[in-house]
Every structure is written in C-alpha cells, then in structure tokens.
Structure 1
Amino acid sequence: MGVTLKSITRENFEAVIALEVAASQRDYVADNLYSIAESSFHPTYQPRAIYWGGEVVGFLMYESFHHNERPPVYNIFRLMVDRRHQGRGIGHSAMQCVLDEIKAQGPFERIAICYVSTNQVARDFYASLGFQETGMSEETDEVIAEIRG
C-alpha cells in the first residue's frame, strides 16, 4: 500500500478532522480543524490529507513564499499521523511525498521545518529526510531545520 497526498475536499474533510494523535503528542501539533480553518485565510497554505491504502490516515500542511526574482521558500509546519496508524512508516512516506510535490514545482531556495527542541523523535525523523538544523526561531523558540535547493 502506498502513501499519497490529496487536497482537502468536502469528501475527506470529516475524516481529516476526526484524526487524533497519541495523548503524548498533543502538545506538538495543532488540531486539524484549526489548521484547515487557518488555511482558508492564507492563500499560500497548502493543506493535504495523507492517504494510505485508500484511507485517510494523516494530515500535513505547508506554505510557500515567492520572492520577486528568487526561487520560492517553503515551510512545512503541520504533520500528523493518526494514533492508530503510527509506527508503519506513513509519516516518513508522507514527508517524502510532500518533498517530491515541492521539488516538482521547480527550483527552490529552501524547505524549512520547525520542532520543539526537546522532541528527539522529531529531530531524528527530520534528519533522516535530509533536514539540517540551522538555528532557533526567535518567535517560537523552536529548532529550525532546512533542506537547501
């Protein structure tokens, strides 16, 4: 079974907002309903349902910043896999899908993510995908990691 990403639609909305992370992960990711609502006010936000074997099993969202004459910058700032589907490599495959989606849009300056510095699982996960830590966000006090284009 392969992992795919699809836009949020009327057909998958209810399934996406019903997804839950494990109790220990609730402090690390925003609620999917909030994220989808947020995306309706920000045209640069790209929410995606994560499908595995035809079933909605997760959610992710990224944004793009297009500068006048420079390649775009991307920020992946939401990723969750439902607690019932964790431990199967779905998150890793979904991240690979979103990286492929971004790269297919053409040259880019960088793809960035942020995570809480105490979240060692996130640190190891993103490093396995090629993200390299570049500093700390002054706004959120989170680690910033990037893939350079």
Structure 2
Amino acid sequence: MYALISLFLSLISLLLMAGAIYEVWLSWGDAALFVPSLLDGIALVVIGMAVFDVAKFLVEEEVFLAREQKTPGSQRTTLIKFLVVINIAMLMEALVFVFSAAKKDISLLVYPTFLLIASVLLVISLGIYQKLTQGERS
C-alpha cells in the first residue's frame, strides 16, 4: 500500500513540475506575465520537490525498511529527516512568497513572515527534541 501511495505522490509531484514548466513556457513571449509566471513556477517546483521527498521517504522507511526492527534511535532519526524535508520546503516556499508579495503589495509580507517564523520555530523545536532525546539508546 505504501508503495502505491509513493508512486501516486511521485506522479503528482512530476505533474506539478511539468505544469510549472508549461506555465513558464506559455508566458515566455509576454513580458508582463513572465516574472509572475516564473515565481509561480518556482512555487510549484518547490511543492513538487517536497511531495517527491515525502514519496521517497515513504518508500525508504515503509517499503524497504518495514521488516527491520525499528529502534528508538532509528525512529528518532526518521522523524528528524522527515521534519527537515518539510522545513526546507516551508523555507523555500516562504522565500518565493516574500518575492511575490514584495512585487504585488508590501502589506502582504506579513504572511510569508509568519511562515518564516513557523519554520524557525520548527528548527528550534527540532534542536530541543534532539537535546532532550540524545541520551536514549539506539
């Protein structure tokens, strides 16, 4: 079941990235649409990469390593890897939103700022989690 879900997620991520390329291609000749289309394309590629990373994570952890006995240390490492992937996607999306909001309306910068703050809080939380669980045996 996890293999099918991963395959489906991979297909969705490829479609997102192909849609980004297609959108940029359509706006190639129109100077007014090209830059916004590039920013939208970057956002779609970032989301597609994040979805693909989740699919890869599911395949690695639930298909290939599902039969192995999972120790607390390996589960902790798995959780940290997964949250780092999500955090990277959040940061990249926030940066795209910053550039997009700066071009449209400066008052819209509050939303990507909240996303950046959430990402920083996730990094801090991961650091605290690692510190608190570093004494556990693998």
Give the structure, 1 or 2, with the largest relative contact order (CA under 8 Å, sep 6 or more): 2
State whether TM-score is above 0.5: no
The structure in which a higher percent of residues are helix is: 2
Q: Greater CA radius of gyration, 1 or 2? A: 2
The structure in which a higher percent of residues are strand is: 1
